[in-house]
Amino acid sequence: MAEQNVVSLDPQGRIVIPRRIRRAVAARRFEIGVHDDRIELRPIRPLEELFGSLPRLDTGRILREHRREVEDEE
């Protein structure tokens, strides 16, 4: 079974993910969803991890577009 931890919500609805879990996941952004009676967080990996996997892509342009989209979301 996966590691279990108890966390609490602060008045603004935030939780603190324990350091051990943050280090194991190594992500800063997450997709969140509700499944049955559970809240599930799935890490969103940085786009940079994909660089080099498809050699003919204009990765610089893709990264610039991605960063603009992220800024627009925030």
Taking the model in full, what pTM does it have? Answer: 0.53
Check residue 54 and give its pLDDT: 65
Residue 42 β-bridge partners? 31
74 vs 13: which has the higher pLDDT: 13
* 53 falls within a domain: yes
Q: Which range of residues forms the domain containing residue 45?
A: 19-73
* 11 falls within a domain: no
Q: What are phi and psi of 24, to 5 degrees?
A: -70, -35
* 13 falls within a domain: no
pLDDT tens-digit readout, 34-73: 999 999 999 987 766 666 666 677 778 888 898 899 888 8
Check residue 14 and give its pLDDT: 93
* 1 falls within a domain: no
| Count of the separate structural domains present in the chain | 1
